[in-house]
Structure 1
Amino acid sequence: MKPGIWCLVLAFLLPVRVVAAEGEFLDRVWSGHPVGFALLTERGYQFVAYYDAERRITVAGRRLGDAKWTRVQPAGVPVGKRTSNVTGWDSHNTLRLALDRDGCLHLSGNMHANPLVYYRTRLPFDLKTLERLDRMTGERETRCTYPVFFKNAAGDLLFRYRDGGSGNGSDLYNIYDPGTRAWRRMIATPLLEGQGERNAYAIEPTLGPDGRFHLVWMWRETPDCATNHSLSYARSRDFVHWENSRGEPIALPIVLATGDIIDAARPGEGLINMTFNLGFDAQQRPVVVYHRYDANRKSQAYVARPNEGQRGWAVRPMSDWNFQWAFAGGGSIDGEVKLGPPRLEHDGSLVVDFSTKQAGAGRWRLRADTLERIEKLPATPSSLPASFRHAQSTVPGMEVQSVISRADGRRWGLRWETLGRNRDKPREIAPPPTELRLYELPDSEVPAATNVGS
């Protein structure tokens, strides 16, 4: 089917059953491996994108307060041994949703070095007009991974993705014009360029209290996750002009030699793209937390902040663990250490949540002036109901997966269960589909830890 022509969709109204303690049943979904679903709540509407029991991309939407959902299953095109609307055994195939200024819904995902998968509604908030386009600019769209929709300070819709593969890729940024309903490159070059020798794994650009967007990333030399290295930083007000933490311009594209290095850890020294995060202190300076090995090759969590008036970043350990999270090879792996973004407290101190497979979970409080660890605290009690947090399946190894969405002082959680990651390899037997449920939850100011690729 040619881009711009309507794809065939199955559109119908779904009755729902609301049970406060158990959430709202939406559908039965694929459970053979985890892959990111999307939950978007904005401007009085709510949309969910997921893989159903047959692994097909499915999108459900409603006006908030309505008891019925509209659901569509957009068509795809052949991609190898599958079609672009059906996921394989790959945990990279996250789904992403966004609304543009006019209220038209955008969907991308189900890609791991594959041709661009992209849909958009023809009419605002009208899911039944979802069309398959599979094209934005038409250039460098045959090996896409890690789609991210986000907004700049002016409210324009932007799209970031990787062109290429692990160990050899470029990060490209597009901007959408709702007047012409067309995408163009935000900048002429990639923002992060691996020069054919590496690729970058970056967190989503984060708008700081200083009005700038802050970007943190690490480089990787090969598909082997042990080859991550050189934790780096840049900032920008407009995504066109970029600078380091001292305010000095950085020419584009940003390459290994020109980024602002936070920690020059080499391959094999424990940087992992699943475990780093960003926050801000009382003086609006970026504060970065991350995992790497210490001199004894034990896993430790570190915190870093730009040095005042001089080059480089001040780095301090937060943990005193006595284990090593050993990782290597390709494919998606489970995160054994997770770090939340540093949170600014009323007294100017910072708090960082952590959870580990071997040393449990908790919080560290850090001094405002030195980032020295003041105290270790118990983990923040969860505000999520037990039925949300604990796996209900009797199949061994099942895990709870979730996505949180906030809007207008309200919070929702999307919940389902799957087996864990399996290096993106098929399993001999897949467990039965599990229930996808939507909960309205008590609001919480504590953000979750972030995973960036795998």
Structure 2
Amino acid sequence: MSRSFSVIIVLFFSFLIHSRAEIALYRVAETNPGSGSYVMQNSQEQLTGQAFQQDALVSYRGWQYTVYYNMERKVCIARRRLPAGQWQEVVLPYKNNRDDAHNVITMGICKKDGSIHLAYDHHNDPLHYCRSVIGLANNDSLAWTAGNFGPTTNELETGVPVPDVTYPRFIEKPDGNLLFECRYKLSGDGDSYLREYDGDTHSWSLVGRYVQGMDTNPNSCAYINRMDYDKQGRLHVSWCWRDDFGGQTNHDLCYAYSDDHGRSWKDTYGNQVALSEAIQFTDSRTSGNCLRQGIASLKIADIPYNKGYINQETQSSDSKGRVHIVNSYMDSGTDSNWSSSRSKAVLHHRFRDTDGNWQHNLIHKLGQKVNSYCRVQIILDA
């Protein structure tokens, strides 16, 4: 099935730093790349625009870029001149063949060398990755064609296949390079890894495993809200733990930050509590020193099982370095039925103030708590 694919540009105000947040949404513009977008028949969802898709829409050097699957389920990347240019679509050879909302396309731009990076179609699958020619995003004289994108590969570092990938994401570094983050292995039993792209050498290298969920007690995985840098160059990450395959075991809200691009990690109090481990996916899975459930100070909110707590919602940092996190779960009581518990979930906003203390508000609209069955995104411009 297909559906017109539109990019809707909005202003989202929720602010915010007061005892009760109110929300307002204003449509500024709507634009269409001129292509149909594939719609999954089982859910009527498009395979784009998920909260964990980092990112589906990027603006850089006067251009805006977006990624999606077209009606033939092929990977597409389109760009337009800001503010209102015509979309220029590139259709790549890779074709999705599975209706699974996990299998989105993510995009990153390395500002240092102008390369565009794409990862797509993952739910415990070998890596599907391609990169543009060097300079494509920095040099407008280069042709915007499929020929300027490389083939799909399962490697970042040469000779090192990357297996069992879910939720890949690219994070732009302050120095113009990129990080690549993903989960290895399964829901409720997986680790999280970081790799780094150097725009000077045009190559990837391993940072390592930074979250351990496998071979622990209990086995678990971290569901990342988002990973982003603040304006001071500090890298922030927040997540929930899942101890089994089902969402009913999503629990707690955790947070850490890094001042060395993910090599070492500090808790919210500024204590170094973990180190990323330079091991490959196929290396020994023994317990180590990375982020894990046994580090109690990583928890910033106690959220038990059966709260209708959706994994992977949203996080962002404002201009003062304050980290904002929005999650949805039941405000009171528990419910072991996932569907009904989600129908009772409300939006919780937390932010880490300039003194390092976490503040917690419920988001309201017209004086009422906001119910949220689906995932949300937070956008900051303050």
The TM-score range, normalised by the shorter chain, is 0.5 to 0.7
Match of 2:119 among 108, 114, 129: 108
Would you say 1:254 and 2:291 are equivalent positions?
yes
Give the aligned partner of residue 101 of structure 2.
Answer: 91
CA distance in 2, matches of 1:90, 1:175: 28
CA distance in 2, matches of 1:248, 1:217: 18
- Cα deviation for residue 274 of structure 1 reads 4.3
What SS is found at the alignment partner of 2:76? strand
CA distance in 2, matches of 1:179, 1:142: 27
Residues 57, 285 of structure 1: alpha-carbon distance in 2 compared, 3 angstrom cutoff: closer
Residues 111, 146 of structure 1: 8 Å contact kept: yes
Would you say 1:118 and 2:136 are equivalent positions?
no
Q: Which letter does structure 1 place at the counterpart of 2:211?
A: L
What SS is found at the alignment partner of 1:73? strand
CA distance in 2, matches of 1:290, 1:107: 27
Give the aligned partner of residue 136 of structure 1.
Answer: 156
Which structure would you say has the larger RCO, counting Cα contacts within 8 Å and 6 or more residues apart?
1
- Cα deviation for residue 29 of structure 1 reads 1.5
Q: Which letter does structure 2 place at the counterpart of 1:111?
A: H
Give the aligned partner of residue 309 of structure 2.
Answer: 271
What SS is found at the alignment partner of 1:226? helix
What SS is found at the alignment partner of 1:265? coil
CA distance in 2, matches of 1:286, 1:404: 11
Give the aligned partner of residue 158 of structure 1.
Answer: 179
Give the aligned partner of residue 72 of structure 1.
Answer: 90
CA distance in 2, matches of 1:50, 1:121: 16
Residues 403, 102 of structure 1: alpha-carbon distance in 2 compared, 3 angstrom cutoff: farther
- Cα deviation for residue 266 of structure 1 reads 3.5
Give the aligned partner of residue 203 of structure 2.
Answer: 182
Match of 2:46 among 34, 46, 49: 34
Between the aligned residues of both structures, percent identity stands at 25
Gaps of 5+ in 2: 1-27, 50-55, 137-141, 276-289, 354-358
Residues 39, 404 of structure 1: 8 Å contact kept: no
- Cα deviation for residue 65 of structure 1 reads 6.9
Give the aligned partner of residue 245 of structure 2.
Answer: 223
Residues 225, 328 of structure 1: 8 Å contact kept: no
What SS is found at the alignment partner of 1:74? strand
Residues 325, 336 of structure 1: 8 Å contact kept: no
CA distance in 1, matches of 2:68, 2:106: 10
**Paired residues, number:** 308
Give the aligned partner of residue 62 of structure 2.
Answer: 44
Residues 279, 342 of structure 1: 8 Å contact kept: no
Q: Which letter does structure 2 place at the counterpart of 1:97?
A: M
Residues 266, 23 of structure 1: alpha-carbon distance in 2 compared, 3 angstrom cutoff: closer
With normalisation by structure 1, the TM-score equals 0.58
- Cα deviation for residue 140 of structure 1 reads 6.1
CA distance in 2, matches of 1:152, 1:263: 28
Residues 97, 149 of structure 1: 8 Å contact kept: yes
- Cα deviation for residue 48 of structure 1 reads 2.1
- Cα deviation for residue 111 of structure 1 reads 0.8
- Cα deviation for residue 152 of structure 1 reads 2.3
For residues 360-379 of structure 1, what are the structure 2 equivalents within 5 Å? 362=365, 376=367
- Cα deviation for residue 154 of structure 1 reads 2.4
Q: Which letter does structure 2 place at the counterpart of 1:193?
A: Q
Give the aligned partner of residue 169 of structure 1.
Answer: 190
Residues 224, 238 of structure 2: 8 Å contact kept: yes
CA distance in 2, matches of 1:157, 1:265: 33
Give the aligned partner of residue 195 of structure 1.
Answer: 214
- Cα deviation for residue 158 of structure 1 reads 0.9
Give the aligned partner of residue 78 of structure 2.
Answer: 60
Q: Which letter does structure 2 place at the counterpart of 1:23?
A: T
CA distance in 2, matches of 1:40, 1:166: 28
What SS is found at the alignment partner of 2:92? coil
My pick for the range that moved more, 288-297 or 189-198, is 288-297
Residues 234, 225 of structure 1: alpha-carbon distance in 2 compared, 3 angstrom cutoff: same
Gaps of 5+ in 1: 1-19, 77-84, 298-323, 345-349, 355-360, 364-375, 380-399, 406-443, 447-454
What SS is found at the alignment partner of 2:338? coil
Give the aligned partner of residue 255 of structure 2.
Answer: 233
